[in-house]
Structure 1
Amino acid sequence: MVALALKQAAETTVTGQQIDLENVSHQFELKGAPLPVLDNVSFSVEPGSFVSLIGPSGCGKSTLLRLLAGLDHPTDGTVKVDGESVGDPDPSRILVFQDPTLFPWRTVWDNVALGLEAQGILRSARHRVDNAVQLVGLSGFEKAYPHQLSGGMAQRVALARALVNEPRLLLLDEPLGKLDSLTRLTMQGEIVKLWQEAGLTALLVTHDVEEALFLTQRVLVFGPRPARIVADIAVDLPYPRHRGDPKLAELRREALGHLGLAATW
């Protein structure tokens, strides 16, 4: 699948990171009692791949992204990126949430620049802000404020704020979940384009089975909490994809079957 992506984007240099999870389990404390979230999860993702995670709400998918981002650490097992155990958060691994969480008093340009400003390199890297704004299609809106943006535009700002750090691993936690259906369809195409142009590794958490199949090369299906991987579905289709492709319908039926929803299709 990675070879297919490279063939389709021959001019793109793959900069993405390798991911390896080995026997990862995780739990939280809830009112003094352990709450298991992940149970012995193991998988690998090759550099430059685009992989999605689907499963029941609350099964631990977002927790897994937080482990990869370094925001939490597993109770058991190892989480490795490029062969090194994940420690603290790092600009090479960026997590994009469902809510854009833009600062309302900062312009689009200033919101995108936030990461570089925090690292103390904004003066020498201003061009990266301009490039990121252009990459997400917001040229001309640099001086706009969040209240002047649509939901889709605000999410583009959030993506630009992530991309300005030149990440090698992009973690997407339901980034399109709050958008209207038409804007969501448009943004799906934008995310694929950004992934192809940047050459990074991307992991997407979504509750939309069709979105997972349409965007990514591989779909990991999780069972109920504490989550285990119940299926690993390869989406061996070229880009751009067409929603009416019979193969997508076949894969959707397969994915819904693993989720116990085969009767709905």
Structure 2
Amino acid sequence: MPSVPLASRSPELVSSAIDIRAVSHQFSLSGSKLPVIDAIDFSVGPGEFVALLGPSGCGKSTLLRLIAGLELPSNGSILADGLPVIRPDPSRILVFQDPTLFPWTTVWKNVATGLEARGVLKQSHARVDAALSLVGLSEFAAAYPHQLSGGMAQRASLARALVNDPKLLLLDEPLGKLDSLTRLTLQAELVRLWQRNGFTAILVTHDVEEALLLSSRIVVLSERPARIKAEFQFGKPYPRHRDDPELVALRRRILGTLGLAT
């Protein structure tokens, strides 16, 4: 059966509900156990955009890997649409801080990687073109990664994720290494893509302002092993502005929760 074009599916098909139930995780290091996550328990509704904030090394990225199915939790369970997450799935895509594009092939072929691996590329060429168009890279389809700026390379990574029509997009500081202007541009781009495609999004970031500009809910984690310290709802309409008094006030509250001076 041919693939459904990007952004044309009915709303109930485009996003996942995620339930994280009493999840703990630990690593084995030199014969000893290193606790990383401790009894994390929260849910993400279909189509919601949630940001995870917390100190560096507290376990945020590990939690994303568990949700993606790249690892299994030591204790507890993670459900996607009511089903246990026990392995990776094309409906759950993880986008990393580094674009990790294959340098030996073109942008178009990089974006097509997932479809090719699933054996559906032959009937899905138009989907690759549509994904590149979504992120504004149609004119660079034949370019190689070394010919792209950092922001363009990250756009290509987003296209590679979106071509699979993910129901859940997991974002591990995807804008963290970009210059300020490019980061601002791609923040707006992420919101646009989320609104247009309707997927559920979970973003890991160290930037409180970025979390407030992009997400509808912010979950603040403690030092490792990560526990939930607080949750903040922020229902302001998009686009949001950095000098909005409500945003500025909430930023102060979140920084205080993180133990940082404001």
CA distance in 1, matches of 2:48, 2:128: 25
Over the aligned positions, Cα root-mean-square deviation in angstroms equals: 1.1
Asked if the contact 1:22–1:43 (Cα under 8 Å) also holds between the matched residues in 2, the reply is yes
Where do residues 33-48 of structure 1 align in structure 2 (5 Å cutoff)? Answer: 33-48=32-47
The answer on 1:22 being equivalent to 2:37 is no
Task: After the TM superposition, list the runs of 4 or more consecutive aligned residues in structure 1 that deviate by more than 4 angstroms.
Answer: none
Aligned partner letter, 1:188: Q
Aligned partner letter, 2:72: H
75-84 vs 14-23, greater mean Cα deviation: 14-23
What stretches of structure 1 of length at least 5 have no aligned partner?
1-10
Identity across matched positions, percent = 66
Deviations 1:131-162 (A, max 9, x none): 00000011111101111100000000000000
CA distance in 1, matches of 2:21, 2:86: 15
Which residue is 2:121 aligned to?
A: 122
Deviations 1:73-93 (A, max 9, x none): 000011111001101100000
Deviation at 1:13, TM superposition (A): 2.6
DSSP 3-state at the match of 1:188: helix
Aligned partner letter, 1:203: I
CA distance in 1, matches of 2:142, 2:130: 15
CA distance in 1, matches of 2:97, 2:198: 23
Which residue is 2:201 aligned to?
A: 202
Where do residues 107-118 of structure 1 align in structure 2 (5 Å cutoff)? Answer: 107-118=106-117
CA distance in 2, matches of 1:209, 1:31: 35
DSSP 3-state at the match of 1:20: strand
The answer on 1:132 being equivalent to 2:131 is yes
Question: TM-score, length-normalised on structure 1?
Answer: 0.94
CA distance in 1, matches of 2:29, 2:245: 45
Where do residues 207-246 of structure 1 align in structure 2 (5 Å cutoff)? Answer: 207-246=206-245
What stretches of structure 2 of length at least 5 have no aligned partner?
1-8
Deviation at 1:12, TM superposition (A): 7.7
Question: TM-score, length-normalised on structure 2?
Answer: 0.95
Deviations 1:154-205 (A, max 9, x none): 0000000000011000000000011001100000000000111110000000
Change (3 A) 1:12 1:236: farther
Which residue is 2:165 aligned to?
A: 166
CA distance in 2, matches of 1:208, 1:167: 25
Where do residues 52-201 of structure 1 align in structure 2 (5 Å cutoff)? Answer: 52-201=51-200
CA distance in 2, matches of 1:12, 1:224: 40
